[in-house]
Structure 1
Amino acid sequence: MYTTSTAFLEALDEAGISCIFANFGSDHPALIEAIAEARVSGRKIPAVITSPNEMVGMSAAHGYAQVTGKPQLVLVHVECGTQALAGAVHNAARGHVPMLIFAGASPFTQDGEMKGSRNEFIQWIQDVHDQRGIIRGYTKYDTEIRTGTNIKQVVHRALQFTSTDPKGPVYLMGAREVMEADIAEPVTIDPRQWRPVDPGALTEAAIGRILDHVEKAERPLLVTSYAGRNPDAVAELVRFCERVGMGVHESVPSALNIPHDHPLYLGNQWNEPFQNEALAEADFVLVVDSDVPWIPSHNKPSEGTPVVHIDVDPLKENMPLWYIGAEESVRADAQTAFAQLNAALDARKPDAKAVKARSRHYAAASDRRRAEIEAQAAQPEGLITPEYLTATVRRHIDPDTTIVLSEGITNYTVIANHMRMTRPGSYFASGGGSLGWNGGAAVGTKLAAPEKTVVALSGDGCYMFSIPSTVHWMAAKYQTPFLQVVYNNRGWKAPRFSALSVHPDGYASKANDLDLSFDPSPAYADIAAAAGGAWARKVERPEDLDAAVAEALEVVRTEKRSAVLDVWLSHL
């Protein structure tokens, strides 16, 4: 047999897709049959990873792509499965993560005219006017497969879109009759004709203007959020900053952009309502790959400071309100841009005295920051603090073999500060704002990098959003053990902060209950133990934490099963 579904699987294999994160439905008989036939005949197809929840499956594809840079397939059923992807689509879009979504569609015949015609009642009620429109606002490309004769071209075109900057999810759909259809001749295609578009680069004029700004500045500052999503960009970024004496500030970082022990690293900022000192004193700001380089209501460069913006998406085309007052914006790839700037510096030697002065200034600021962070990490009396918890986890990991996933929300800054990761590709956040990414992402990360120790750090709200019963069932089935640390403050702290920042003296500031508490607290660790046989422990006292973290990591590394630490912090 050679059907549209057969050709679809072949196209995935040709494109180098390793995994199908699948949530099968009544619209997938042709694909289920084609997968079974391929296994019997010995034809190579991607591994099928059953994902009982669609958002977890897409989060797993997200984690896999963050580690490898390669898109994977997320397979869901009709409009119901498409809607169930929920916030994972937002995260992939905002995080610039490549992936291919394929959904079935209700059959378009009902009297048995074609193979796959309607034979279940749900095929009438799942037929909607615009299934693709459900997530069109979050995808780079969408279309419907109408025939098997050109399905490979359609699949490769979709993958070309998803893998070209700015990266993001793409969506295909196909009805049962189309996916069941026989193809007279096998489809042959050359995947090399569908490679991603080459990355953008700086013009010679832009290079000159940027270097002119740096040369004139006493306090040049680089602000970035995700230049390090390509680990190869980090070395070029660091080399450039070292050669000109430029400080580096991370704003809402979703990747490691510079080793956090580097003397030019000045820290990170999320929602903290204060003016960043380095940003205020900067007399030139270079923004590279950042959606939110600062929050201008309380933090921004000083008036008159020139700003240049380099980004894969400098217009932020899917953000209706966005501007940062840049005098120049350039669409370019970060690695390419920094390599160009470094090449230009070979001919245009920086002023060694000025570079030394800048570097010395930033190194002193970096040293002061590290001393403050170390002081915060002391073992407390009474309740465990987020700082002490994060520092304890750091002491027990090997930074060269560990990947940290952060969804700490109100503890994002604490996690970035106290984990202090140094290896490119060792730290990720979702890049989006829909909570629950961390669990599925941990499964996908471990699939992509089985030799690494994966540590997911999340708030208790994010832990519940992550569907831990599905996550830990998948982790056990597919042998992707990881350490999950729950920062448990028994509720949603972020909405409390948001309310009080707008109404600091209002009724909410005086209320005893804002309906944000999770009391009585669920047994978070026990959920994972019941669903996937995970090692589980609740920790309430600082003196018990060190041993608990050590034992949890030993379980992950030697017993090859997940471990969940439910760590109680002060109540929200």
Structure 2
Amino acid sequence: MYTTATAFLEVLAEQDISHVFVNLGSDHPGLVEAIAEARANGRPVPTIVTCPNEMVALTIAHGHTQISGKPQAVIVHVECGTQALAGAIHNAAKARIPVLILAGSSPYTQQGEMLGSRNEFIQWIQDVHDQRGLVRGYMRYDNEIRTGTNVKQLVHRAMQFAKSDPKGPVYLMAPREVLEAPCDPVTVDMERWQPVSPIALGAKDAGFLAEKLAGARRPLIVTSYLGRNPDAAAALEALCVQLGIGVMESVPSYVNLPHDSPFYLGNFWNEPQRNQDLAEADLVLVIDSDVPWIPTKNRPGEEAQIYHIDVDPLKEQMPLWYIEPNRSFRADAELAIRAIMDAAGELELSAERIAERSAHYADRSGHRRARLVDEQSKDGGLTIARLMAALRPHIDAETIVMNEGITNYQPVFDHLAPVRPGAMFASGGGSLGWNGGAAIGAKMARPDATVVAVSGDGCYMFTVPSSVHWIARRYNAPFLQIVLNNDGWNAPRHSALAVHPDGHASKANDLDLSFSPAPDYGAIAAAAGGAAAFVVDRDSNLESVLAQAFAVLKNERRAVVVEARLD
């Protein structure tokens, strides 16, 4: 029998969704039957991945999409499973990750009037007034599937929202009776259901920005996630060469410019000091950044001209947001940069000025790299600099790093120094626990890649490692996990001392943030997924231990956890 659930499976294939990450419940008999029927009759269905934890399911989809560029799907159980997605929904929304989420809902009949009518006590308890409202504030689109006659059109409309800028997650729900109901097959012309084309920067605006950039003494570009499109990163590098422009990253979640570029000036996060290059810039062009600087700590000079390009320049989902630019432009980053380059090609550029600016930024970039080398060679126990320097030789062109170092975000980026767009990622959101599931998603998207996840110790526990490592073993998606053990949550400590530098907290021995006595992080992964476990500290031979860890990962195809006990 052809049902709404059958049609839903077909629409996933029409959307080129290769994986569905599921946590099934009593609302899904129609889907379970439809999947089994399709397999029995030789019809293809997406790869179904069982996920014992809903947040991990969505995090895997998040990581997969970051690597593959293709949205995936997540199926969860009624409002309980919807709420269990929690922080992963925040991350997908804030990072603009397109993903389709389907949740069942309690049956709407209770006396057997329809196939799928209520037959379990839990279905009364799980019936809530506004299930979609639980996540509506984070969704690009939400709706309820009420009939199989237009389920395909409903899903395709949802995915148009998900894949059109600004991208993001979409949420659908369906009662059990609807998924069970028979319906007639519908043929959909996918050419009529494509996402909206990226927004171009007009020729007049491109010419305006080209003239401003060409005429500035110290032009600077600030970006955070331009590199989610590798072609945009390539265009940015070409623009820097063409006009002699420096690039600073603020809270980067992608590789936006190779770290060995003479125009790459580094990255900043929450440092309580002003960045010299940002302060000296007389023109700042912000491209694809939600938080280009923190005004109370670090901002451009008062006389600097500020221009802003983004597909969502008003940041419509952020209640408090402004950087007071001279002008803002709604445009796709790659298209905008290429339009500026074309416009600059029509100008009479000063070769002397461009050469001077290029030499200035090359000197600043060179001094930065020399400082980082000095940090790596200092004898200071087990530091992030020393650990990342030992890790870097194992990072080749086929390696993907998922960085959730939290208070160590910056030194991980700095000392691994990625030179290839697509080599390192962060979540793009603010809810911890992304890196474990994201590493699985990366491995599923690129099975031949070596995947490394870097996490703080508190963040590691947020990943739900028991679920993550079970999934990694079950679906042959091993990765290497570095746990930065600094004995607890450092981020709340930094936050408290930033606000109360001389308060009682600054003198207290215990801020209720320590994990001592620490869990055996490697043993958790070993018990759940057969992972190999290593521990390194200030006295370890890092090169030897990491060589062993990567040998296990690649030769035995087992996940590996390396706990790094930092000084």
Query: 1:347 offset after TM fit, Å?
Result: 2.2
Counterpart amino acid of 2:200?
A
Listed as ranges, the matches of 1:326-337 within 5 Å are: 326-337=325-336
Given that 1:243 and 1:350 are in contact with CA atoms closer than 8 Å, whether structure 2 keeps it comes out as no
Q: Distance in 2 between matches of 1:526 and 1:488?
A: 15
Query: 1:343 offset after TM fit, Å?
Result: 1.8
Aligned residues: 567
Q: Deviations over 1:468-489 (max 9, x none)?
A: 0000000001111111000001
Given that 2:470 and 2:529 are in contact with CA atoms closer than 8 Å, whether structure 1 keeps it comes out as yes
2:382 paired residue number: 384
Query: 1:397 offset after TM fit, Å?
Result: 2.0
Q: CA RMSD in A?
A: 0.9
1:61 paired residue number: 61
2:256 paired residue number: 257
Listed as ranges, the matches of 1:23-34 within 5 Å are: 23-34=23-34
1:464 pairs with 2:461: yes
Relative to the length of structure 1, the TM-score reads 0.98
The ranges of structure 1 where at least 4 consecutive aligned residues each deviate by more than 2 angstroms after the TM superposition are 345-350, 541-544
2:86 paired residue number: 86
SS in 2 for 1:86: helix
Listed as ranges, the matches of 1:111-510 within 5 Å are: 111-183=111-183, 185-378=184-377, 380-381=379-380, 383-398=381-396, 400-510=397-507
Given that 2:62 and 2:99 are in contact with CA atoms closer than 8 Å, whether structure 1 keeps it comes out as yes
Q: Distance in 1 between matches of 2:261 and 2:158?
A: 40
SS in 2 for 1:223: strand
Counterpart amino acid of 2:198?
P
Residue segments in structure 2 that go unaligned for 5+ positions in a row: none
Q: Deviations over 1:9-59 (max 9, x none)?
A: 000001100000000011000000000001111111110011110000100
Query: 1:386 offset after TM fit, Å?
Result: 1.2
Given that 1:436 and 1:462 are in contact with CA atoms closer than 8 Å, whether structure 2 keeps it comes out as yes
1:517 pairs with 2:514: yes
Q: Distance in 1 between matches of 2:252 and 2:316?
A: 20
Counterpart amino acid of 1:287?
V
Counterpart amino acid of 2:393?
R
1:541 pairs with 2:544: no
Q: Distance in 2 between matches of 1:479 and 1:347?
A: 53
Listed as ranges, the matches of 1:522-533 within 5 Å are: 522-533=519-530
Relative to the length of structure 2, the TM-score reads 0.99
Query: 1:312 offset after TM fit, Å?
Result: 1.3
1:19 paired residue number: 19
SS in 2 for 1:236: helix
Query: 1:301 offset after TM fit, Å?
Result: 0.3
173-182 vs 188-197, which moves further: 188-197
Residue segments in structure 1 that go unaligned for 5+ positions in a row: none
Q: Distance in 2 between matches of 1:558 and 1:454?
A: 14
Q: Deviations over 1:435-491 (max 9, x none)?
A: 000000000000001111101001001100000000000000111111100000110
Given that 2:538 and 2:566 are in contact with CA atoms closer than 8 Å, whether structure 1 keeps it comes out as no
Query: 1:542 offset after TM fit, Å?
Result: 4.2
Query: 1:396 offset after TM fit, Å?
Result: 2.1
360-369 vs 554-563, which moves further: 554-563
Identity across aligned pairs (percent)? 60
Counterpart amino acid of 1:117?
S
Q: Distance in 2 between matches of 1:76 and 1:141?
A: 17
Q: Distance in 2 between matches of 1:315 and 1:269?
A: 23
1:555 paired residue number: 552
Q: Distance in 2 between matches of 1:136 and 1:500?
A: 35
Query: 1:395 offset after TM fit, Å?
Result: 2.0
Q: Distance in 1 between matches of 2:64 and 2:200?
A: 27
Given that 1:59 and 1:437 are in contact with CA atoms closer than 8 Å, whether structure 2 keeps it comes out as yes
Q: Distance in 1 between matches of 2:307 and 2:99?
A: 30
Given that 1:106 and 1:176 are in contact with CA atoms closer than 8 Å, whether structure 2 keeps it comes out as yes
Counterpart amino acid of 1:147?
T
SS in 2 for 1:249: strand
Given that 2:210 and 2:341 are in contact with CA atoms closer than 8 Å, whether structure 1 keeps it comes out as no
Q: Distance in 1 between matches of 2:528 and 2:104?
A: 29
Query: 1:390 offset after TM fit, Å?
Result: 1.3
Counterpart amino acid of 2:224?
S
Q: Distance in 2 between matches of 1:159 and 1:112?
A: 34
1:96 paired residue number: 96
Q: Distance in 1 between matches of 2:208 and 2:335?
A: 17
Counterpart amino acid of 1:422?
V
Query: 1:77 offset after TM fit, Å?
Result: 0.6
Query: 1:349 offset after TM fit, Å?
Result: 4.4
Q: Distance in 2 between matches of 1:548 and 1:313?
A: 46
SS in 2 for 1:377: helix
Q: Distance in 2 between matches of 1:377 and 1:345?
A: 40
1:75 paired residue number: 75
Given that 2:207 and 2:344 are in contact with CA atoms closer than 8 Å, whether structure 1 keeps it comes out as no
Q: Distance in 2 between matches of 1:546 and 1:488?
A: 18
Given that 1:379 and 1:542 are in contact with CA atoms closer than 8 Å, whether structure 2 keeps it comes out as no
SS in 2 for 1:290: coil
Query: 1:132 offset after TM fit, Å?
Result: 0.2
SS in 2 for 1:543: coil
